[in-house]
Amino acid sequence: MDPGCTCELCELKELFFLNLNAENANLICSGKIEKTFSQGEVILKEGTMIQEFTYLKSGLVKLFRRDPSGREQIITIARPMDYVSLLSVFSGKLYNYSVSALEDSVTCNLKMEDIRTLANSNGKLAFNLLQKMSAIADTIILESLEIRKKNLKGRVAYLLIYFSRTIFFSEEFDLPLSRKEMADYVGMTTENVIRTLSEFRKDGILKIYGKTIQIANMDMLQSISDFG
């Protein structure tokens, strides 16, 4: 393998390099491009041609679609080590959703033509890709069902706990979503989200300093999420 290639040292190793010989591994490495995106910048745009296989190396992004009225519908939030393009890359020629950066992010981009060629000739790689796609789909479906079965307070509580335990691993963090984006994600109105956050603050469950959230009573918040 080309000594200048460091792909085998990152999380792409599990997906590609354990299933590729040196020649094909070098093919992947030679076509790899890293791209940097600022907060709010669009990474992938719905309706555009699929040309790259995109992996999130660092940062935080949201996957979303727009309904006919133009309202944003957030599908999920992706973290580092997530393959943010996997939901569309094998289903057609165009992206079915958009991806934008919630914070400054770096993606690792591979040539889609190379990925398709290797998947067609390498059964282990193709199976590994199918496993990743299934895992992403399962996560999105289960999260959506979990949110939908809750009432308004339960949905906001669930989202805050998700940020705390899954994204930031801290009970104090800066909200990566605006109040409107939170509402789009959990299927509420912006006014309901603002009111619920205000009630959590009054009840001593949260401390809120602008975009910074401190969970002051995790047990209470968890109870609202579980039974709300």
> Looking at residue 200, what is its pLDDT?
97
For 90, the token pair is: 């094998």
Determine contact, residues 62/175, Cβ cutoff 8 Å. no
Q: For residue 32, what pLDDT is reported?
A: 79
What pLDDT shows up at residue 19? Answer: 61
What pLDDT was estimated at residue 198? 96
**Adjacent-strand bridge partners of 6:** none
- CB neighbours of 165 closer than 8 A, spacing ≥ 6? none
Could you give the residue ranges of the DSSP H alpha helices within the chain?
A: 12, 22-30, 112-121, 123-148, 152-162, 179-186, 190-202, 218-227
Mean pLDDT by 10 residues, the chain (228 residues): 50 59 67 89 92 87 87 86 75 87 91 82 79 80 86 94 93 94 91 96 95 96 92
Closest CA to 187 of 142, 225, 152, 160: 152
Sketch out the chain's domains with CATH numbers. Answer: 7-146 (2.60.120.10), 150-227 (1.10.10.10)
- Res 57: pLDDT: 86
Identify the pLDDT of residue 26. Answer: 67
